[in-house]
Structure 1
Amino acid sequence: MPKDAFALTGMSWRHRFSFQRSLAELLGKRWMEAVVPCLLLVGVLAYFGVTADGFLTLDNASTLSQNFAELGLVALGMTIVLIGGGIDLSVGAVFGVVNGFALIAFRLLGWPVPLVVVAAVALGALLGSVNGVLIAYAKTRPFITTLVTLLAYRTVAEYIDTMYSPRMATTTRIDPLWDLLGAGRLAGLTTQFVLLVVVALVVHVLLSRSRWGWRITAIGSSRTSARRAGMNLPGITFSTYAVAGALAGAAGLLTASRLEQSSASTGLGMEFAVLTAVVLGGVSLAGGRGTAMRALIGALAVAAISQGLTLQAQPRHLYSMVLAVILLVFAAADLKWGKNRGKAIQKIYMAPGRFRLRASPDIYQPGGVWELNDRLTGAQAIGLGELDGPEDVVLDERGRLYCGDRRGWLWRFDGPDAPAELVARVGGHPLGLVIDKDGNIAMCVAGMGLYGITPEGQVTPLATDVKRTWYRINDDSAIRLADDLDVAADGKIYFSDASTRFDGDEYFLDLIESRPNGRLLRYDPDTGQTTVVLRNYAFPNGICVSHDGASVLINSSNLYRIDRFHLAGPKAGQLEPFAENLPGIPDNINRASDGGYWVAFAGMRTPVWDLAISMPKFRRRMVKELPFDEWLVPNLNTSCVIKITEDGQVVESLWDGQQKDHAVITSMREHDGYLYLGGLTNDRLGRIALPQHGIPARAGSERVVSTS
């Protein structure tokens, strides 16, 4: 069980949970798109439950499940076609033709039931394939094509009714398997409903988990893009109509086994009911959007309306009118919901918290440890003009220097005066770097996770997700903002995930929200497993294993503090303060050769921001009412590095008082008597010499004494 760092935030427990944030996270779920269809379904069931006698009985539930299953199978086929950017108006006629054929094959021809089932589904697929050939290969219009085949198939259904209905009326045949299809039960449920559930699960998996389904969605979203991606548009389009025909045929077969009769009007108007059902379920008529489950929600609503009106003894023509009215009202409500849902999420997703901060230390005392100086001014520039935002820097045993930049590239310098060598393109923005136990580079990549890179440039993802916390609304399995790391003596990599709510390019939003959204993670290279060690931490940034290897130091940028998490010893698993109430925003932290630690300040505290942190309503209103470029944000333009002892005492500070070369310093690394500087927004790395007694000489000095 990972530890919880909330107690160290200083936030009161009543501010730990936010209804506003929970609501925003709920609205952001994909299944919330189905809220309007679900409310419609609940409303329909509630209305007929009150107004229609017998609607809430078990007998009616059984009948409703049968009608729903038959309508639902056709709706699933229509959904596949619509997602692919087409439309099929012939499904009702296919339903009627297969219904009559199944009865002929069973009662007049005496075929075995399994053969009837296969033949009926195959006939439906064949009729659907006619649409597919014309639309996919002959390039005819889907609407006109399926309208024509609707008329043609309806003629076939009328022919079957005229030629065979009299003979079927005088012929009977009893078969247990046929009765199981029409009126049987499996596990207490009607056979039709069980079959619908199985088919719906298969369709759901195909649409959401298979290449076939992904390609259907891609074609429906943009045929041009799908064609340029090399997809077989005719083949995939053809398959959607064939599958839709097969499902309509299966529905016709079930109706034949249930009612034991057929007529020219069987399936008449079904295309309108099915289109209404899928639209009510949220399947887009424009293509590219829809799911099997949402189509079934709409189908159940339509089936319930039909059953409810029947129990109320309403005239049949009222059914079409009710569907039309409901469709019109739903379209308006769903349009409003679709437009305003995203706006609502944007307005309430950020739920600022309130921290209790002590007054910032006075750093303006002359002669004090915080006195402004120019010790970093004039630092030797490395990679000037070649780098863009090298957030961190690390050196290997051979003294080769590595750094990343915002373009997603990893650079190597064989020496401070050597030219830059491109090692690898990672794809995301590299942040923290470290050399692992095998001599490879372990890298935190914003928005991607933890990656490993060999000196030859081979990139391997090490940790991109963790096990999701079961009780959280927001999916926290993805590693969204991995930003710094260090390697323990046993080879395990400890790294920070600064926010589970905001991505790498949105880090400032987490700073403004100021809630404990971060966590400490551990990657085990022996097992390949990544676990959460510490959760509910306020923007964990720098990570550094202590000199004795018994603990991990964690910088909290939001709380201006450094904490120690014990890995071994009597305090194993405990989190305790290490350096509190710092005057700046701590970023990366690394070990110093004299037993202390170097800490980079990305910015300094300001009275106005300290005040804003205590005013969550102010920050919420600011985000809602002001444009982005007018937001009040933390100060992030300070060039400062500090030295902290093993017991958490600040003993010196190094500044670039002119801020000419290093406007922001986010990291530093000591190596062979030099201190190397990295900055998230800088165009270079820096290097200064360290003298023997730990107090840096003025940058540019030629005197160099190793402290290692």
Structure 2
Amino acid sequence: MQFSFICSKSGIEEEAGGSPSDALAKMNQGRSDVRQRRPVYKGDNSYQDEPKKSRAHSSDKWKSAACIALLLAFILTPVVILLTPSPIDPVYFTLPEPPEFEGVLEPNNLLQKSERIFENEISGPESIVVDGDHIYTGTADGKILHIYKGEISVLAKLGKGPCGGFDNEPTCGRPLGMRLTKEGYLIVIDTYLGLFKVNVATGDHYQLYSAEIPVNGKRPRLLNDLTIAEDGTIYMTDSSTKWDRRHNRHQIMEGEVSGRVLIYDPKSQEVTELINSMSFANGIQLTRSEEALLICETTRARLLKYHLKGPKKGSLEVINNNLPGIPDNIRRSSTGGYWIGMALIRKKNKFSFFDYCAEKPWLRALIMKVVSMDLVLQYLPKYGLVVEVNEEGKVIQSLHDPTGQVIPAVSEVEDKDGVLYFGSYNLPYLGRLYLQRYKKTKH
């Protein structure tokens, strides 16, 4: 038979059967157990709630749980990475073994003799036009700057604010390639907004072509550079119809071939497609006779030639299949050749991240899943390099900064009678080198 008791002011009352003394004895036994479970005062203002053996057992359980968690993380992390889709769909391609730095590519320190001008006063001067005492350039904050006798002013802004930051770039605009017409107008290609004509005296500008308008069924996503013929025809590169400028690393790592060359006809004011299926079509330059276009194909580290006239009209050929770097813009030199700025170098017997990944699309896909390319580039060795090529694509001279301390990378070289101006899409200054002071070029 079971009993239950309740406490009252009158003492213990029996609810059902059994001896009250027996019940009281059991109750006292319970109180004794309670007293034994009470915390033990240790003399240092702390209490010992459980025996040491119990605490050790609990600690062991926590260690076991931590080990299991680490093991699961070790096992599951690769699985999660493998199952996570890559932001790119890499294309397989090959590159030849990088060239030796010998002969005309023999390292020198000529680029180190450059001076940094307007340091921390401009941001990312990608392309440069020099006209007497006037310098024009476009910057990362969407401005077209006019520099005259050391004074910097804003000539024009093609987009609208706010500017600064990843999200604002497409509406703020990013001026890239620019040229001066024979009439003295500045023609600017904005990678997001299109093609513009700017009055250098007033800053007034109007749009020749909007990047919103598809060409051959596809909208340009990365308008990049331009060159202007004597009759006003403008040839411009669209590096990709898939990736915009903010994602240019994705485009390079993917290796896709949607790059092309477009033509703006000043008479009809229409834009048509001239060449397609290129891997990051970048710098573009008419030859002096205007019989051909020279085009830098960045992802393939090569120089192409498209024939506009003559017996080869309409044909595209590779005239340098193994440039010593990843090429950006191309401009005429004052001595008859063409300067090409290099974003990264490719040198035989020297590790090249770009070359190493070329034949490994799986590796490029994996890298883009887990690592920021900006972080990767930050830790690559710095080496400044520009090369001059002739019309057949042969390198005829090179300028180096082996330390990368003065000119770590070059997007464009503007040559005015042997005075070279160096632009870069991500540096806070222009470079300037009085080359004639240090050497006489022979061709």
TM-score (normalised: structure 1):
0.46
Query: Hey, what's the Cα distance between the residues in 2 that align with 1:518 and 1:454?
Result: 30
Query: Equivalent residue for 1:391?
Result: 126
Query: Hey, what's the Cα distance between the residues in 1 that align with 2:208 and 2:277?
Result: 23
Query: Equivalent residue for 1:585?
Result: 326
Query: Equivalent residue for 2:208?
Result: 462
Query: Hey, what's the Cα distance between the residues in 1 that align with 2:405 and 2:139?
Result: 20
Query: Hey, what's the Cα distance between the residues in 2 that align with 1:449 and 1:552?
Result: 21
Query: Hey, what's the Cα distance between the residues in 1 that align with 2:421 and 2:194?
Result: 25
Q: Deviation at 1:567?
A: 1.0
Query: Equivalent residue for 2:115?
Result: 380
Query: Equivalent residue for 2:190?
Result: 445
Matches within 5 A, 1:343-422: 347=85, 350-363=88-101, 365=102, 368-396=103-131, 398-415=132-149, 418-422=150-154
Q: 1:627 to 1:360 in 2, by over 3 A?
A: closer
The code of the aligned residue for 1:395 comes to: V
8 Å CA contact 2:173–2:192 kept in 1: the answer is yes
| RMSD of aligned residue pairs (Cα, Å) | 2.7
Matches within 5 A, 1:240-639: 347=85, 350-363=88-101, 365=102, 368-396=103-131, 398-415=132-149, 418-426=150-158, 427-455=172-200, 456-463=202-209, 464-469=211-216, 476-477=218-219, 479-605=220-346, 606-624=351-369, 626-628=370-372, 637-639=382-384
Q: Deviation at 1:640?
A: 1.1
8 Å CA contact 1:352–1:513 kept in 2: the answer is yes
Paired residue secondary structure (1:457):
coil
Instruction: Give deviations 1:119-162, integer Å, cap 9, x for gaps.
Output: xxxxxxxxxxxxxxxxxxxxxxxxxxxxxxxxxxxxxxxxxxxx
Query: Equivalent residue for 1:687?
Result: 432
Query: Hey, what's the Cα distance between the residues in 2 that align with 1:671 and 1:539?
Result: 28
Query: Hey, what's the Cα distance between the residues in 2 that align with 1:419 and 1:380?
Result: 17
Instruction: Give deviations 1:319-345, integer Å, cap 9, x for gaps.
Output: xxxxxxxxxxxxxxxxxxxxxxxxxxx
Query: Equivalent residue for 1:177?
Result: none
Amino-acid identity (%): 30
8 Å CA contact 1:451–1:459 kept in 2: the answer is yes
Higher strand share: 2
Q: 1:409 to 1:347 in 2, by over 3 A?
A: same
Query: Hey, what's the Cα distance between the residues in 2 that align with 1:662 and 1:630?
Result: 18
8 Å CA contact 1:442–1:452 kept in 2: the answer is yes
Query: Hey, what's the Cα distance between the residues in 1 that align with 2:279 and 2:303?
Result: 11
Instruction: Give deviations 1:235-268, integer Å, cap 9, x for gaps.
Output: xxxxxxxxxxxxxxxxxxxxxxxxxxxxxxxxxx
8 Å CA contact 1:612–1:619 kept in 2: the answer is yes
Matches within 5 A, 1:651-666: 651-666=396-411
Paired residue secondary structure (1:377):
helix
Q: Deviation at 1:469?
A: 4.1
Q: 1:629 to 1:569 in 2, by over 3 A?
A: closer
Q: 1:381 to 1:573 in 2, by over 3 A?
A: same
8 Å CA contact 1:484–1:543 kept in 2: the answer is yes
Query: Hey, what's the Cα distance between the residues in 1 that align with 2:417 and 2:266?
Result: 29
Instruction: Give deviations 1:58-83, integer Å, cap 9, x for gaps.
Output: xxxxxxxxxxxxxxxxxxxxxxxxxx
> Which structure is higher in RCO with an 8 Å CA cutoff and minimum separation 6?
2
Give 1:670's match in structure 2, choosing from 409, 415, 435.
415
Count of residues paired in the alignment: 342
Q: Deviation at 1:540?
A: 0.8
The code of the aligned residue for 2:141 comes to: R
8 Å CA contact 1:673–1:706 kept in 2: the answer is no
Q: Deviation at 1:607?
A: 3.7
The code of the aligned residue for 1:506 comes to: H
Query: Hey, what's the Cα distance between the residues in 1 that align with 2:87 and 2:427?
Result: 32
Unaligned runs of 5+ in 1: 1-345, 471-475, 699-704
The code of the aligned residue for 1:554 comes to: I
The code of the aligned residue for 1:402 comes to: Y
Q: 1:498 to 1:706 in 2, by over 3 A?
A: same
Instruction: Give deviations 1:464-500, integer Å, cap 9, x for gaps.
Output: 2454545xxxxx22x2211111111221111111111
Q: 1:633 to 1:619 in 2, by over 3 A?
A: farther
Unaligned runs of 5+ in 2: 1-83, 159-171
Paired residue secondary structure (1:612):
helix
Query: Hey, what's the Cα distance between the residues in 2 that align with 1:355 and 1:582?
Result: 16
Q: 1:403 to 1:630 in 2, by over 3 A?
A: closer
Q: Deviation at 1:675?
A: 1.0
Q: 1:658 to 1:607 in 2, by over 3 A?
A: closer
Query: Hey, what's the Cα distance between the residues in 2 that align with 1:706 and 1:422?
Result: 36
Q: 1:386 to 1:607 in 2, by over 3 A?
A: closer
Q: Deviation at 1:697?
A: 1.2
8 Å CA contact 2:382–2:402 kept in 1: the answer is no
Query: Equivalent residue for 2:42?
Result: none
Q: 1:573 to 1:382 in 2, by over 3 A?
A: same
Paired residue secondary structure (1:495):
strand
Q: Deviation at 1:381?
A: 2.9
Higher helix share: 1
Paired residue secondary structure (1:480):
coil
The code of the aligned residue for 1:572 comes to: K
